[in-house]
Chains A and B, each alone.
Chain A
Amino acid sequence: MNAAAQGIRRYTMKERVIHWTSALTFGYALATGLAFYSPHLYWIAIVLGGAPTSRFWHPIIALVFIVTLAWMLGNWLGDMRITAVDRAWGKAMSRYVENKDEDLPPSDRFNLGQKYFFWVMVWAGLGLVTSGSVLWFPEMIQWNLRFLRYAAILIHVACALITIGAFIIHVYMGTAMVRGGFTSIILGEVSPAWAKMHHRLWYQRVTGK
C-alpha cells in the first residue's frame, strides 16, 4: 500500500457495524448448529455454555442475523445486481483464481464472486429462517401437514451446508487471499491502488479519474 496516497472510503461506519453484527451472529448460529449437526461436534455446545443454552439461543441469535441480512439486502441491492460487466468478468474468473488479475475485465464496487456470495447468503438465509421457524415450533404444524416438518429438516441442513461453503471461501478471501480486504471492512478505507486493481469501475466512479 502506498502510505502517501489518500485512502478511499469503501465501507461506511454503518455498513461495517452491520457486517460485523452479521458475522458474529452467523458465527454463533453456525457453531451451535454444527453442534446439533453431528455427535462428533456436540462438544461445541458444551463449550458455549451447554447444549440446552445453545439450543435456546440458536434461533434467537439467528433471527438477529436474518435482520442484518435484510438490512444488507436493502442497502446493497443496487450494488449487487449482476450486470454485463460481471458476465465478462465471470468468463475470465479462472484468471482471478490464479492471481492473474491484470488479465481481468474491470469490475464495479463488487465483483461477480462477491455478488454470488451475497445472493447465496440471501437465498440460503431465507431457506434457513423459513425451515427454522418450522423446526422451532413443530407442534404449530398440524399433524396432517407433517410433510412440512420433514421438508424443513432437509431444507435447513442443505441451506446451512451451502452457507458454510460460501462462508469458508468468504473468510479465506477476505483475510488471507485478498490483502487489504480485511482492513477495509474494519477501518472502512482502501488505498487508491487497491481500489484500482480490484474494483476499477468503482474507483473511476468515486474518484472521477
Chain B
Amino acid sequence: MANLRIQKISGHAGPAPGQGVQRQDQVAKLIDTTTCIGCKACEVACMEWNDLPFRETTFNNTYQTMPHMAWNYWTLIRFDERPHEDGTFQWLMRKDGCMHCADPGCLAACPADGAIVQYENGIVDFQQDSCIGCQYCVTGCPFNVPKFNPQTKRVFKCTLCSDRVSQGLEPACIKACPTGCLHFGTKDDMKALGEARAQQLREHSSYANAGVYDPAGVGGTGVMYVLHDATNPEAYGGLPSNPRVPWTVRLWKGPLKWLGNLAMIGGLIGVTLHYLRFGPKHVKDDSAGGEA
C-alpha cells in the first residue's frame, strides 16, 4: 500500500511506482521557536512513540543534556545563548531534526534501491530493510541529520511519524508540545500560519527581522521554523542559512555518472575494435637470431 504512494526512490532504476497515482497534500511541521520553552517534551514523546532505547544524557553546565542527535535520538532542542549589544541576552531554543526536504540530499546520494523514499505527501523516510549502511546519506544531508548505528550498520532519523500520519494522526512531538509552538498540517496551511505569526512578531514586537525558514536551496522543507531573526539562522544551533545538496553529489550522480558509463562502454568497444582491426601480436619465430 505504502509502495503506491512513493514519489521518489533512492538508487532506483526507472520511475518511482507511486508518482502521481494518488491525490495527496504535502504535509508539514511548523516549529515556532518564539514560543518554545525548551521543555523537551517533544524529545520524550519521540522516544516513547518510536520505542527508542534509552540514551544516557550528559551534563556540562548547560541545558544541552543531549549534545547531538543519535541513531536512537531523532529530535532534540538546541539551546543557544545569544548576547545582545545592550548587555542582555536571549535564549534561542530550536527543535532540531530531519527537515524532510522537498529535494532531499540523503536520497540523492543513496545508492541502495529503496533505502530512502519520499512519499507523495512529502515525508522522507528511511527503510532500514533496504539500507546497506554506506552512510552516503550522512554526506548528502546539508543538515547533519542521518545517524549511523554501528551495531546494526543501518542509518536512522526522524520519520515525521509516517506511521501516525498515514493513519490521520499528527506526529508524536506535536501532540506532546505544551505551548503549542509545534504545528502540523498541510504545507500551504503551515506556511500561511508561519507567515502570519512572523508578521505579528514584526508588527507587534521588536523582532523586525522575524520570518519563516523554508530554504529554497533544497526545494523548501517539510519542517519549517518561525525565527525571531530570519536573517541569522546560524545563531540557532548552526541552522544553515542557505542549505543545498552538495554540488559534488550532484556532479557525481549526474554528468559524471553518464560520462563514466560512456567511457566504460567506449573502452570495451574500443578494445574490441582494436582486436578486429589489428588482431593479436604474433611472435616471429626467429632463426637463431643475431641482433636486429
Contact = CB atoms under 8 A, between A and B. Distances in A.
Interface in A15-61: 35-40, 42, 45, 51-52, 54-56
Contact of B248 (A1, A102, A151): A151
Contact of A97 (B248, B251, B274, B279): B274
B271 A179 contact: no
B248 A150 contact: yes
A143 B134 CA distance: 18
B283 A168 contact: no
A164 B280 contact: no
B41 interface: no
A138 B289 CA distance: 61
A191 interface: yes
B267 A150 contact: no
> Mostly helix, strand, loop or mixed at chain A's interface?
helix
Contacts of A197: 281, 283-284
A94 to B, nearest CB: 11
Interface in A91-118: 97-99, 101-102
A157 B13 contact: no
Contact of A168 (B153, B271, B282, B284): B271
B112 interface: yes
B249 interface: yes
Contacts, number: 132
Contact of B271 (A42, A157, A172): A172
A178 B282 CA distance: 8
A168 B164 CA distance: 52
Nearest to B261: A38
A35 B289 CA distance: 51
A161 B258 CA distance: 12
Interface string A146-182: 1001111110011001001100110010001111100
A192 to B, nearest CB: 9
B196 interface: no
B77 to A, nearest CB: 18
Given A143-B144, A196-B286, A169 B135 contact: no
Contacts of A151: 248
A178 B132 CA distance: 41
Contact of B264 (A51, A139, A158, A161): A161
Nearest to B251: A154
A194 B280 CA distance: 13
A193 interface: yes
